[in-house]
Structure 1
């Protein structure tokens, strides 16, 4: 028979082995990050989501990412936060549909001690752990300045806005207006949301071309899908695009191709920098100061968007104008 001493020793060995196995399992368990995005119908957010999943930490399995489609609805996004909080996600990346409504969702996560990193669009308040994205007021100014130059500082224009209440719509409209205020001979004769949709913007532009025959001299689309919808409407009416310049923003593939053809103007918003940058910042919040960023975007933008120690409250991704000369380079970048 086994002595009591041997039995105790054997149990101790089994317990120790179990503890080591548990610790190893804990160490290899992937970090779970939820990405709550406002909607996946538009090409830019599809690019953003694809780039997120191509982050080195996701590809090697050390991070598990789940992308939640908010379907352009603040309540849906709030419910998705409830799910992530209940399931104890390690971090959340948030691309909100509504500047104000999104704040309550962030507050819930903060109360549950889950870091929330904003990306692409902003949310009210100061409870975000950090924000990684472009400056949309600057975007709005760039769009308006390009259009004003294209129409010679005078004429009637129309503006296709983003979803009303989203930070990109609010801030790009602010930037638009800052420039237009300087040009009293430029008149905005119509403005309405296209909800970032190419199809909605096509219909909207067709209606405006009918309502204001021969009176529209330029178009601002607050994203590329909206601008491309306007371009399509103008072409379908067999109107020379040179007589109605169209400006967009984002740098999606179709818009870059349209720039190559001389059909529109746009600026590049780097979806990879936003998505992968946000994930690196989220991982730094989870792992602490020892974490080193793994995305290539930090070396690409080192001079304009330094990593520092990864704890900054805001990282601003720079804009780049797409021109016929650099269009092919950017096409390769977005299609890789």
Structure 2
């Protein structure tokens, strides 16, 4: 989120736009209060990272009543929110794809080192984000469905939320390692923060072979999502095996351009934002699964990050 906000500041400065950044700190009630205050102050066009998808229709209704529009980004709005009007957009990345890319990275690893997963059996320690969060649900579905389609047997030796937190992930991993020693061959986390917490736990508990020939000095590969600077540094040290880029610059740039077009030209309908055209075909993930709003959906691609390309992002 910091990278997202920093890029918004940069874009606003370049365009000479007044930018009012608010942090809801994960609290949807706080976010709704902030929105009400901003509308009262005369703000009409918004870039919103919603704290709760179920609140986005209410947000859109309030903004429409004020004669404005919004780009919902990073966390998906509901289909109903986009149906409030043509001045409401999705500028985000399909979370299902992040899980699919994790599965592809896993497949490449175990195809190269089949002895580490005999008979294509994966015994996974899986760190989830906030339960019920759209990213938690879709990233998990993408991972499982793709691994099964690639012929793997997927066993979750342990699976629980660490709420996106490195510290909670490390604590949970410490507990799991004590309970499940020798029973797993892979660690997957739904974001890099938790993945790095898992890395620290493995190191602290001595699960290090110091052989980087497979891309990691850890006994088991750890895979995250986000491609944060800390994650890339960990990859450079042969600790974290791989991650998936969630393009905060791409998401924030697309969302900002849509809001800017609405504010300066009255509409952003059909425009290309940050080089991304509105989607034309529905996908399985809401809100881009509804043909009625597909033209309001700008899908910023995820990208797998491995030893082959991680330095390009550093």
- TM-score (ref. length: structure 2): 0.80
Q: Paired residue for 2:101?
A: 142
> Is residue 122 of structure 1 aligned with residue 89 of structure 2?
no
Contact 1:249–1:267, Cα closer than 8 Å, also in 2: yes
Q: Paired residue for 1:206?
A: 174
Contact 1:147–1:219, Cα closer than 8 Å, also in 2: no
Contact 1:268–1:321, Cα closer than 8 Å, also in 2: yes
Structure with greater Cα Rg: 1
Q: 2:157 aligns with which of 186, 189, 198?
A: 189
Contact 2:124–2:156, Cα closer than 8 Å, also in 1: yes
SS in structure 2 of the partner of residue 70 of structure 1 = coil
Q: Paired residue for 1:66?
A: 20
> Is residue 234 of structure 1 aligned with residue 194 of structure 2?
no
* Residues 307 and 125 of structure 1: CA distance in aligned 2, closer, same or farther (over 3 Å): closer
* Residues 107 and 169 of structure 1: CA distance in aligned 2, closer, same or farther (over 3 Å): farther
* Higher RCO (CA-CA < 8 Å; seq separation 6+): 2
Once residues 218 and 167 of structure 2 are traced to their aligned partners in structure 1, the CA distance between those partners, rounded to angstroms, is 22
- Runs of 4+ displaced beyond 6 Å: none
Pairs within 5 Å for 1:5-154: 45-55=1-11, 58-60=12-14, 62-128=16-82, 129-151=88-110, 152=117, 153-154=120-121
> Is residue 314 of structure 1 aligned with residue 297 of structure 2?
yes
Q: Cα deviations across residues 139-186 of structure 1 (Å, max 9, x unaligned)? A: 111113323543433131021111122221121122122124444632
Q: Cα deviations across residues 10-44 of structure 1 (Å, max 9, x unaligned)? A: xxxxxxxxxxxxxxxxxxxxxxxxxxxxxxxxxxx
Contact 2:126–2:156, Cα closer than 8 Å, also in 1: yes
* Residues 164 and 114 of structure 1: CA distance in aligned 2, closer, same or farther (over 3 Å): farther
SS in structure 2 of the partner of residue 68 of structure 1 = coil
- TM-score (ref. length: structure 1): 0.75
Aligned residues: 277
> Is residue 222 of structure 1 aligned with residue 190 of structure 2?
yes
SS in structure 2 of the partner of residue 158 of structure 1 = strand
Contact 1:110–1:127, Cα closer than 8 Å, also in 2: no
Once residues 217 and 185 of structure 1 are traced to their aligned partners in structure 2, the CA distance between those partners, rounded to angstroms, is 13
* Residues 106 and 159 of structure 1: CA distance in aligned 2, closer, same or farther (over 3 Å): farther
> Is residue 278 of structure 1 aligned with residue 246 of structure 2?
no
Contact 1:155–1:217, Cα closer than 8 Å, also in 2: yes
Unaligned runs of 5+ in 2: 83-87, 111-116, 209-216, 280-293
Give the root-mean-square deviation of aligned CA atoms. Answer: 2.7
Q: Cα deviations across residues 25-84 of structure 1 (Å, max 9, x unaligned)? A: xxxxxxxxxxxxxxxxxxxx11111111111xx214621112211211222222222222
Q: Cα deviations across residues 106-128 of structure 1 (Å, max 9, x unaligned)? A: 33223333211111110213333
* Residues 109 and 246 of structure 1: CA distance in aligned 2, closer, same or farther (over 3 Å): same
Once residues 190 and 302 of structure 2 are traced to their aligned partners in structure 1, the CA distance between those partners, rounded to angstroms, is 14
* Residues 321 and 61 of structure 1: CA distance in aligned 2, closer, same or farther (over 3 Å): closer
Once residues 136 and 277 of structure 1 are traced to their aligned partners in structure 2, the CA distance between those partners, rounded to angstroms, is 17
Unaligned runs of 5+ in 1: 1-44, 332-336
- Higher deviation after alignment, 227-236 or 237-246: 237-246
* Residues 138 and 290 of structure 1: CA distance in aligned 2, closer, same or farther (over 3 Å): closer
Contact 1:96–1:166, Cα closer than 8 Å, also in 2: no
